[in-house]
Structure 1
Amino acid sequence: MPAFNRILLCYDGTREGQHALADGARLAQELRAQVHVLSVVNNSAWMQGTDITSAVPADLVSDSVKSVLDEGLKKLAARGVNAIGHFAIGDPLDQIPFFAKDLNVDLIVVGHHRTTGLARWWGGRTDGLLLDRVSCSVLVTMGPEVGPGVAAGGTSGVGKTAPPV
């Protein structure tokens, strides 16, 4: 098994992101690995021609991503994990591989967001795209399944960091 000396934790504040952060923190502590946290706001809706860009100031979006990143860094610090934070605006399928390569990480930790039926069809098939774009290992964390009638995770206003893999 390869040594995981540099780990990239993808965090967006959602339930899935929190599982990735917690599982990645435990692994990083055991391995005494250097930890990087990446928060990405997905701007794909803006690129598709919606008029949200003019309605939401760029500083507000940037501040939102930074606050989610700060939240993740504080949670790690409370566990005794020192981490370096990074944030980006763009498609997570572009940003995660970019940061993984730039930071020369050995492992990426992402949370899996379960989708069903119409949501999977509507969102398109992106299964495996992250895996096809990176040259390091990827750990996909799975939190407890949410039952019917229960909201699936909180939202922080930040786009999903971790696409399904």
Structure 2
Amino acid sequence: MSNEYRHVLVAVDLTKDSHKVLERAIPIARRNNAKLSIIHTLEPLGFAYGGDIPMDLTSIQDQLDEHAKERLAEIADPHDIAREDQHVVVGMPDTEIHRFSKEHNVDLIVVGSHGRHGFALLLGSTSTGVLHGAQCDVLAVRVGNDDEAAE
């Protein structure tokens, strides 16, 4: 199994579950002596509000971007992930994760999954979108409230 993976990408949403996802990826990267990168995707404010707001949202988007970088560093720094391997990108999460993976030769993507069932699964989530469009292996780490898993 040695060197099966050369570049592991951890996609996080900056919630408390992000630590669990990262902690699952770290031993895999270490066992394979693989590069470890972490990514968070921000949806552009224009996607959320369309053309309905007649104002420039650039400064607000920049503030959100800066806050996300600080939050990502809080998650990644304790695990000695270099700042150049911490990425905040703007766009649709599954699309940007796929783009980053192709551009950086990622061969394993690790994402959190709430283990949805039924319609929620059919309608999709970020982890489902990542899984279905990935050109490499994807590890979905079960996250969320343990009480939800028991139901």
TM-score range with shorter-chain normalisation? 0.7 to 0.9
- Does the C-alpha gap of structure 1 residues 53 and 133 become closer, same or farther in structure 2, counting only changes over 3 Å? farther
> Which residue number in structure 2 is paired with residue 15 of structure 1?
16
Identity of aligned residues (%): 23
**Is the contact made by 1:39 and 1:68 (CA closer than 8 Å) also made in structure 2?**
no
2:76 is aligned, of 66, 73, 77, to 73
- C-alpha separation in 2, matches of 1:37 and 1:55: 24
**Is the contact made by 2:11 and 2:109 (CA closer than 8 Å) also made in structure 1?**
yes
> SS at the partner of 1:8?
strand
Deviations 1:88-138 (A, max 9, x none): 0111011100000011011000011345789x39xx712643223211000
> Which residue number in structure 2 is paired with residue 29 of structure 1?
30
- Does the C-alpha gap of structure 1 residues 87 and 39 become closer, same or farther in structure 2, counting only changes over 3 Å? same
Following TM superposition, by how much is the alpha carbon of 1:5 offset from its aligned partner in structure 2, in angstroms?
Answer: 1.0
- Paired letter, 1:125: L
In structure 1, list runs of 5 or more residues that go unmatched.
Answer: 149-165
> SS at the partner of 1:38?
strand
Following TM superposition, by how much is the alpha carbon of 1:143 offset from its aligned partner in structure 2, in angstroms?
Answer: 3.3
Instruction: Looking at secondary structure, tell me which structure has more helix per residue.
Output: 2
- Structure ranking higher on relative contact order (CA contacts 8 Å, 6+ apart): 1
> Which residue number in structure 1 is paired with residue 135 of structure 2?
135
Deviations 1:21-45 (A, max 9, x none): 11011211222111111111123x6
> Which residue number in structure 2 is paired with residue 126 of structure 1?
124
- C-alpha separation in 1, matches of 2:88 and 2:131: 21
**Is the contact made by 2:8 and 2:107 (CA closer than 8 Å) also made in structure 1?**
yes
- Paired letter, 1:146: D
- C-alpha separation in 2, matches of 1:65 and 1:37: 12
Following TM superposition, by how much is the alpha carbon of 1:82 offset from its aligned partner in structure 2, in angstroms?
Answer: 5.0
> SS at the partner of 1:147?
helix
Task: Find out whether 1:91 has 2:74 as its counterpart.
Answer: no
In structure 2, list runs of 5 or more residues that go unmatched.
Answer: none
After superposition, the CA RMSD in angstroms is 3.0
- Written as runs of structure 1 = structure 2, the 5 A alignment for 1:38-77 is 38-43=39-44, 46-48=46-48, 49=50, 51=53, 54=57, 57-77=60-80
- C-alpha separation in 1, matches of 2:18 and 2:56: 25
> SS at the partner of 2:86?
strand
**Is the contact made by 1:13 and 1:68 (CA closer than 8 Å) also made in structure 2?**
yes
Name the count of aligned residue pairs: 141
> Which residue number in structure 2 is paired with residue 153 of structure 1?
none
> SS at the partner of 2:146?
coil
